[in-house]
Structure 1
């Protein structure tokens, strides 16, 4: 695998133009990259071609788009250096399998999604040398097909390469994003950051999805808060058994962080409303798997996972 010159304009494909993909697209373009957004939603891509991508509220940005496409296969035409995958995790393997057949052999793939161990699924197909992982710490919702209402950003984001081969491009990405005020760091302890984010997502997103309540509504309810705390406590025991090093006072931090989330409808709730599969197996379900690995009971995470599975089934 040959390294491409840092002097060349970075060529990026972004698959999945939800809040994460749209947010990264806007910042990469603002930083000077050539970016090709990709989504199977034709209405979304048509509007992006016409009006560009907009971010509003916590982050404000508006960019025009040179090219965009309706399928992963179309990315073959663009000789990409980097493909950012921000589709929902249930679709990850399928998308990466297609990527493996169409992008140059020296291109890297960076997964920017919720969940634990996503990067391992990418590496199984593309190899460790070509795989990057990003923990995204901004969130929002689509106020229109090409506009993200960014509800919050708790910097920094984190990026990690699985091997030394990917460190140069990881550093290049970080430099670009920081140049346009999206604070991002390269992390040597990425797994710790991934677990922190997974615990935060697992604690509140599925509770909102099951109850149909916003984050603030759950956290303002004594019963909701008690359930969130139970998920956090159980997940922390599993993380400790797995040897994960979380930030100091992470339990207290988590509760305070989630209390500040506001009237946000997390993507898991939106997915269930739209009859889509959720990321539950990569969050509470994955934590329960690690619990079994260490012979630790995880009744709360298992119950939450089962309830969301039932709702997925009934929504079909």
Structure 2
């Protein structure tokens, strides 16, 4: 039996860890929040939403020394914690073990390779979404595709076996030969949507129908796509801007950055728009809009943490506005 350590028992860690458990893996969750570990150990991992309601008897720990010998470390902590968990993954993996990161932002697989080497790291991105409902409890708000692959572009047996295990567990996972491009595609997507949602409180479908929010998103995209061109990266989408606009038009989920703001937690703004600003600086590309967005979100973080904002409920989060985009971008209909 494949033994898996899920590093990060938040909403996405729960969704993907549950899929691996259903796919036949022996899964243990690692999280430094003792209340999360205690909830999973006492009541099981509880996941509801897109694939139904389930309670799974998974193990959990906050002690790295109790993880044992691991075949796969699935890294789903916030991007700011990657450097901290990389040595944990290195310490628990078997000699032929490997890591998979499906985190938001850029710089995650690069940080993991510093500790493990490129041959022991798989990377990708996902369009599943989720929300934490409390310690050990997660809502799977949207069932979407996931792409992952080897950093060198080969199609390996281990990647195919892992994808098959996820699929048995109910998730659509495809092995790709352009993992880095896939990561940058999701990076641009998150840079455009997440901070606009966090700053305004609007969900993607509402952003698409508000002229001011839509204009802000387009301005972020102008700068982000200029950086993509400078990096020499070919994104999977033929028209990334229209792809993101269509996504917004159809989706009413609550982006993770908005969830973090509402719960008074730090966001991933540094690994998203902050990282974009830094990459742009290296290429001499001005990014006034993204710089402004970073400052706004950091201000929101401080203000809401000070106010002690509680996690907002979102029973309607999975109820998207489906169908193709009609009408004009940025206009309420």
Match of 2:41 among 38, 41, 49: 49
Q: 1:154 to 1:233 in 2, by over 3 A?
A: farther
Query: Which position in structure 2 is the counterpart of 1:35?
Result: 27
Q: Is contact 1:42–1:70 with CA below 8 Å preserved after alignment?
A: yes
1:72-83 aligned at under 5 Å gives the runs: 72-75=64-67, 78-83=68-73
Cα pair distance change 1:79/1:164, threshold 3 Å: farther
Q: What's 2:296 paired with?
A: 307
2:128 is the counterpart of 1:142: no
SS at match of 1:68: strand
1:94 is matched with which residue? 84
In structure 2, C-alpha distance between the alignment counterparts of 1:149 and 1:100, rounded to whole Å: 30
SS at match of 1:54: strand
Q: Structure 1 residues 214 and 278, CA, compared in 2 at 3 Å: closer, same or farther? A: same
The CA deviation at 1:123 is 0.3
- Distance in 2 between residues matched to 1:243 and 1:233, nearest whole Å: 16
Residue 187 of structure 1, aligned match among 176, 180, 194: 176
Q: Secondary structure at the match of 1:104?
A: strand
Q: Does 1:203 align with 2:180?
A: no
Structure 1 residues 134 and 61 mapped into 2: Cα distance closer, same or farther (>3 Å)? farther
| Aligned-partner Cα distance in 2 for 1:32–1:210 | 41
Deviation at 1:230, TM superposition (A): 1.5
Taking the aligned partners of 1:120 and 1:183, their CA distance within structure 2 comes to: 25
Residues 14, 85 of structure 1: 8 Å contact kept: yes
TM-score (norm 2): 0.84
Give the aligned partner of residue 126 of structure 1.
116
Cα contact 2:18–2:169 (8 A) shared by 1: no
Q: How many residues align?
A: 304
Q: How does 1:158-177 map to 2 (within 5 A)?
A: 158-163=147-152, 167-177=156-166
Match of 1:62 in 2: 54
Secondary structure at the aligned position of 2:21 is classed as helix
User: Structure 2: any 5+ residue segments left out of the alignment?
Assistant: 307-333
Instruction: For 2:92 and 2:27, locate their aligned partners in 1 and report how far apart those are by CA, in whole Å.
Output: 17
SS of residue paired to 2:105 = coil
Per the alignment, residue 151 of structure 1 pairs with: 141
Structure 1 stretch displaced more, 123-132 or 40-49: 40-49
Equivalent of residue 297 in structure 1, options 279, 283, 286: 286
Q: Is residue 84 from structure 1 mapped to residue 84 from structure 2 by the alignment?
A: no
- Aligned 8 A contact 2:29 2:60 in 1: yes
The answer to whether the 8 Å contact 2:155/2:175 transfers is no
How big is each residue's C-alpha offset from its partner over 1:190-217, in whole Å with a ceiling of 9 and x where there is no partner? 1211111111111111122222333344
Cα deviation 1:36-72 (Å, max 9, x = unaligned): 0122223322222233333333232525224221233
Instruction: Please tell me whether the aligned partners of residues 130 and 166 of structure 1 are also in contact (alpha carbons under 8 angstroms).
Output: no
Partner Cα separation in structure 2 for residue 221 and residue 130 of structure 1: 44
* TM-score when normalising by structure 1: 0.88
CA distance in 1, matches of 2:3, 2:153: 21
Give the root-mean-square deviation of aligned CA atoms.
Answer: 2.2
Matched-pair contact (CA < 8 Å) for 1:16–1:38: yes
Moved more, 272-281 or 222-231: 272-281
- Which residues of structure 1 form unaligned runs of 5+? 1-8
